[in-house]
């Protein structure tokens, strides 16, 4: 199910720059959650569903998992950057209107390896939302090819922050 922009009576204007993500929790059936990211707004839809909002430029990880009586049938991890209204973006189920993909992986073993890469960044004391976008792209590329991703380092992070500060 695709997230909808909240109705006007919920306080959202059509020009609202928020990227909305629909989170769902039907335990052991359908689970959609945010692994990391700074939620700027939140709206409760019902006891199992809510919308969370991100501002343009925000980076977040969106996990989608689904199972039936026999086990996992779908698992997906998307690391996206929210875009401004009217900007080009990729569509992602559950994300209105979409985002700039930094990483898009499916299959539980691959998703687990990507989650481990996120854990490794956090173990360095770095917020995954502040990581160089190219790091998430190389994690995507390497895992898609069946290779181990290159680890993120404090030196690489420092270089990224300096480059970002000068607007390169």
pLDDT digit string (tens) for 92-133? 999 998 899 999 999 999 999 999 999 999 999 999 999 999
Task: Note the pLDDT of residue 114.
Answer: 98
Note whether 111 and 104 are within 8 A (CB).
Answer: no
Task: Note the pLDDT of residue 15.
Answer: 54
pLDDT tens track for 23-61: 999 998 999 999 999 999 999 999 999 999 999 999 999
Q: Are strands 59-68 and 90-92 parallel, antiparallel or unpaired?
A: unpaired
Provide the angle, in degrees to the nearest 10, between the axes of the packed helices 133-144 and 108-123. Answer: 150
Q: Is this model's pTM higher than 0.85 or not?
A: yes
Element (H, E) at 31: strand 30-36
- Per-residue pLDDT at 137 exceeds 70: yes
């Amino acid at each position: 199910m695709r997230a909808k922009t909240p109705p006007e009576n919920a306080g959202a204007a059509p020009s609202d720059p928020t990227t909305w993500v629909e989170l769902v929790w039907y335990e052991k059936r359908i689970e959609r959650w945010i692994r990391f990211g700074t939620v700027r707004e939140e709206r409760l839809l019902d006891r199992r569903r809510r919308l969370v909002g991100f501002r343009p430029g925000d980076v977040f990880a969106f996990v989608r998992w689904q199972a039936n009586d026999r086990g996992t049938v779908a698992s997906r991890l998307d690391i996206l950057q929210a875009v401004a209204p009217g900007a080009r973006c990729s569509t992602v189920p559950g994300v209105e209107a979409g985002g700039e993909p930094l990483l898009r992986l499916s299959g539980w073993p691959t998703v687990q390896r990507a989650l481990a890469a996120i854990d490794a960044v956090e173990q360095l004391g770095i917020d995954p939302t502040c990581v160089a976008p190219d790091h998430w792209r190389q994690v995507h590329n390497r895992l898609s090819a069946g290779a181990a991703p290159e680890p993120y380092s404090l030196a690489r992070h420092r270089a990224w922050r300096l480059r970002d500060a000068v607007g390169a």
